[in-house]
Amino acid sequence: MKVFINKRIPETGIHKLKEAGLEVFIPEHENLSYEEWLIYCQNSDAILGVGGEFKYNKDFFDQCPNIKMIALYSVGFDHVDIPEASRRNIPVGNTPDVLSKATSDVAFLLMQSVARRASYNFQKVKDGHWGGFDPLHALGQELYGKTLGILGLGRIGFEMAKKSKNAFGMEIIYHNRNRNEEAEKELNARYVSFEELVEQSDVLSVHANFTPEQKDLFNAPVFGKMKNNAIFINTARGGFQNEKDLYEALISKKIWGAGLDVTHPEPMSKESPLLELSSVCVLPHIGSATIEARTGMANIAAKNIIAFSKGEKIPYCVNPEIYKVN
């Protein structure tokens, strides 16, 4: 079975695939055009897909009839048309769990960085503008006892909530499609409506899976309902926020600050006005960027492909319904 990997991943994953007798191909240069990427896909049986710049949609599947499975090097799968893959009986794997702590670390980091205006103050030092002591300049805010609201209290959201409660004694509220009884029991988390989440959160952190219906979910009307001391954090997908509306909410002081590890589009333009604000911190989508997490992701992606090559159900499957017996 031929496996196409569009970018290099930790060697452990590649080694596992080759050890299992699979033919692995990685292009010499990784900045492939769509046309180049498509040709490699057309000549493969399975794809270990790194990054979300290209879409696995109906047009892709029509042009790549030989593709039998897709192993994503990510938890998110919003760039894959899952119903279309299922219709063609193509399993799609992802890499949950292994990056939950690392991604929640970044959300926690952003929350603190925004609260204390860390990016702004670091830039002052770099620019030689340290200056003298000013009791009122660019003050931050403390997080102790504040309310953390989480949209999408799954694995990553749970880790973020746990850190915030343990470190700052934060109250946890959340909005999910389903109740999270573990979080309610262990963290005393309280389930609320989306409207209550928006209105009651001092920090609102997004950890939900993104769907097209949620594009610009956080827009001018929503930001307008948030507390004026609220911090908006997003480490999920940039499509959740309307960045023009976010900027307007910040400069009009409808909300206090924002920390983003994801933007729309990515990469964010260096001309974005958000980057000029002292209460904003933007990172270049580094949620899973640790040695431990990326190695774990490589191992899981390889495990998915190897299981498929043996005719077994892949262990981390986004569309398990394809295995159901009618």
Pairwise CA distance, residues 138 & 256, whole Å:
12
Q: What share of the chain is helix, strand, coil (3-state, %, to 5)?
A: 40, 15, 45
- Within its chain, how far is the Cα of 209 from the centroid? 8
AA identity, residue 88: R
Helix H or strand E segment including 126: helix 118-126
Task: Look up residue 224 and give its amino acid.
Answer: G
The tokens describing 61, both together, are: 């599947």
Strand partners, 149: 173, 204
First and final CA of the chain: distance in angstroms?
28
Distance CA 263, CA 274 (A): 11
Per the residue annotation, which of 266, 276, 292, 321 is the catalytic one? Answer: 266
d(CA 244, CA 111): 21
Residue 198 CB-half CA count within 13 A: 14
Residue 276: active-site member: no
The partner residues of 317 in beta bridges, in order of sequence, read 93
| Rounded-to-integer distance, Cα 231 and Cα 13, Å | 38
Catalytic residue from among 155, 175, 285, 294: 285
Q: Is 237 part of the annotated catalytic residue set?
A: yes
Degrees to nearest 5, angle at CA 200 with 198 and 204: 55
* Catalytic residue from among 207, 237, 243, 294: 237
116 part of the active site: no
Which residues, including other chains, have CB under 8 Å from residue 284's CB and lie 6 or more apart? Answer: 261, 266, 267
CA dihedral 59, 64, 66, 72 (to 10 degrees): -80
Closest of 202, 209, 212, 211 to residue 232, by C-alpha: 202
With a CB cutoff of 8 Å and minimum separation 6, the contacts of 267 are: 284
The residues annotated with a catalytic role in the active site are: 237, 266, 285
